[in-house]
Structures are given as structure tokens and as C-alpha cells.
Amino acid sequence: MSESPRREHTFRRPARSARAVRAAGDVRESHGGRRLATGVTIAAGFIIVAHLLHTVALAPYFPPGPSPWAAWIALAVVVGVGVVSRFATRTLPDWLYVVLLVGLVAPVWLDVSATAGLIDLGITPTAAAAAGAVLMPVAAIRGTRVPLTVGTVIAIVLAVEALVQVGTSGRDVVTGIAVAATAAFPLVLVALATDGFRRLVGRELDLSLVQSTVATSRSAVGMRASEELAQLDFDAETLLDDVGSGRIAIPLPDDAAEQAGTLAARLRVRLIEGRTDTWLRHAVTESAYLNGQVTVDDPVGSAGLLTQSQRDGLLLALWLLVAEHPKGANTPVRVHLACRETADEASPDVAFDLSIDVSGVARRRVDPATWDAIGSVGEHNVVTRTDGFTVDVSCRVAHSTRPGGPPARGAARSRGS
């Protein structure tokens, strides 16, 4: 479906929605994130205890010289400082976070030095591997990228220490490689679980945020429009006050006349564009997932005629369509929504056609709930293409039904789904 040549009004994401999207990534104190962090911490504790018991079992076989306990003492100091600062401030300052990560160098270095060349005796690093487990709750609290990088570096160091002994230890090197894997593999699992959890929370929060737009009037004034109108009102009042107080003479000077003409033109443009600034345009703009992937072509603001139940269904359908990310797909999902008014003198209801053109995802991969949501908007028909599909929806809204009220008659049936 081709893009409409009509000039589109450029929207800017309001600060409220931007802050909400950023907050979705911080799940430490809400959205069930505390339970996730607690579970990860308990799992990390079991791994650390297992490495400590392994150390106790290996201690009698250490030859005279460096022992593994110095590395464990250094690791305990790093963990203790982190725990105390967490309980004392509830937030870990960035500088202390960096210091603690750098502090992990001490137990890793001490443990590698104490166990170097001893794989043939069955002695492997333990405190260094436990340092990787220490990073598991950090990944659940502060983000996964940095802890995963540090854990990978620790695993590489332990793997290199094992591989350099292949000449003297032979097949025993496999044990050293397995210990190196324990420093990174649990951390990878935590990173996958945490990132997936944050994406889930972010999507649900985004849907909850933009659903607040469905209860607005037909021609909704968004946040950006409110700011523009407030500025225009202030400029007009200032100009009128200057004229009324005599600071600007009549007839107006050229610069004042030019300013008055500019204000009048901006007000006319704002009033004309306000007809198309429906709830749908603002829902798309304020959504972190719809904005940039969904375009709306509604020249007369027909979407504002929908009832609240129809709006809920359309918004959910768009959200589910954009949420589809086919594996291996090179092109993102794009949705173009166009509204066209139709005249039906025989019908007592207001009627218009809604076309949803979807590209980048096949019809068979669409969530079945999407068709139920579209069915609540109106009767629909699906036309399949090689690169996507098009959904033609026939919307009917009773004259007596105001937007935000009960659903329109006959809007819940569907065909072609």
C-alpha cells in the first residue's frame, strides 16, 4: 500500500512516555523484579558454596607454597563491601560498582597463582570460578552487559591457564576447561532470563501506558499540542497587551504586523491539524513499540469515532502485530493504518473503512488473539501477500454511542479470520 502524499504532522515523544519506557528496564523494586533478583542470588549462593566445599576437599592435596585461602579471603572482602553498601544506600554508586568489579582481579589472580601447574594433581581454581557466580545477582540488579563481559574474561583466563598445561596434564585439562565454563555459563543463563524478563515488563508497561488514550474525546489534544497551544496563547496575549497598553501603536508597525500574521497562521494550522490528532495518533506516538513501526493515515480523524471497546481492540491488535519478531527475518514488522470514510444513507450508523497493511510477518505467524482483537473493531477480511497481508475492516458506530461509551452494535463479528 502506497504512502499518502498528504503532509504528515511530525510528533515528538512526550517526556512522560520516555521516562516510563526507561523505568521499564529497572525492575529491582517492582514488577516482580525483587523475586527474580532474590532467586538469582540464592542460585549464586549455592554455586559459591559448592566451589568452597570443593576448595575444602582439595586443600590437603596442595603442595607447600601458596594456598587457595588468600583468594577466598579477597573474594569475601569484595562481596562483603558490596553487600554492606547495598543495604546501607539501597543503590550502588557507579564509582563503587566499578571499584568492586576491578576488585575481583585480586581473588582471580591469587587463585590462578596458587593453582598454576597443578591440574595433574586434580587441583583447579575455585575462588576465581566463584567470582563469576558473584556477578550473577549483579547482572539481575545493574544490567547484564558489564557483568557478562567480566565473567567472560574470567572464564577465558581460567581456560588459558588450563590449556597451557596440556603438555604436562594431558586429558586432565578437560577438568580445568569445565571449571572455566562454570565461571561464565550460569551468568549467561541469568543474562538471558533477566533480559527476557525486562523485555516482557517493558512491553506490558508500554501497553498499559498507551491504553490511557482510548478514553479521550474524538479530537484529542496531545502533550506536544498542549505545549504549542500554551505558547501560542502566551504570545497572543503578550501582543494584545502591548497594543492595549499603548506600547505598540495602531496601525501596527511592520514587525508587529508580521508577528500577528504569524500567530494567526500558526493558530489556523493548529486548529486544522487538531482534527486528525485523534487518540490513535497519540497512542502510536507515545508507545515505545508502535512509534516508528506504525504509521497512521487518517485525514479526517475517523478513528476518533470508535467506541472505547473498539479502540481497545484496535490498540491491542496493533500492539500484537508489532510484537511479532520472526526468527531470521531481515526486515522489521511495519504496519500502515489508513481510515476512509464511507457513506451509507440506508444505515443509521456512522460507517468508515479501516485498512491495516502489515509487512514483514506472515499471516500464519500472527498471534490468534490478534484476530479476536480486530473482530471487536468490526467485520474484517484478510488479503494475503508474499511479504505480509492486508486487513480490511468495516467499522460501524451508532450515532447514539459516544467515544468511550458502550460498544457499537454488530461490531464484534468477524469474517476471514
Tell me: the pLDDT tens digits for 196-209? 888 777 777 777 77
The three three-digit cell numbers of residue 300, written as one number? 479526517
d(CA 23, CA 13): 15
Residue 62 reports pLDDT greater than 70: yes
Q: Any idea how long the chain is?
A: 417
CATH number at residue 356: 3.30.565.10
Reported as a single tens digit per residue, the pLDDT across 177-226 is: 998 999 899 999 998 888 888 877 777 777 777 776 676 655 554 444 45
**Same domain as 196, residue 83:** yes
As a whole number of Å, the end-to-end CA separation of the chain is 21
**Same domain as 339, residue 247:** no
The three three-digit cell numbers of residue 316, written as one number? 491491542
User: Average pLDDT of 243-261?
Assistant: 72
Beta bridge partner(s), residue 350: 397
Residue 327: per-residue pLDDT: 55
Domain count, the chain: 3
d(CA 49, CA 59): 15
**Same domain as 174, residue 34:** yes
**Same domain as 245, residue 345:** no
Q: Is residue 347 situated within a structural domain?
A: yes
**Same domain as 150, residue 96:** yes
The DSSP call for residue 30 is S
**Same domain as 150, residue 86:** yes
**Same domain as 344, residue 264:** no
Number of neighbours of residue 80 by Cβ within 10 angstroms: 10
Q: Is residue 11 situated within a structural domain?
A: no
Residue 22 reports pLDDT greater than 80: no
Reported as a single tens digit per residue, the pLDDT across 94-104 is: 888 888 889 99
Tell me which H or E stretch contains 87.
helix 69-89
Domain enclosing residue 237, as ranges: 224-273
Q: Is residue 81 situated within a structural domain?
A: yes
Reported as a single tens digit per residue, the pLDDT across 309-339 is: 888 889 889 988 887 665 555 678 889 999 8
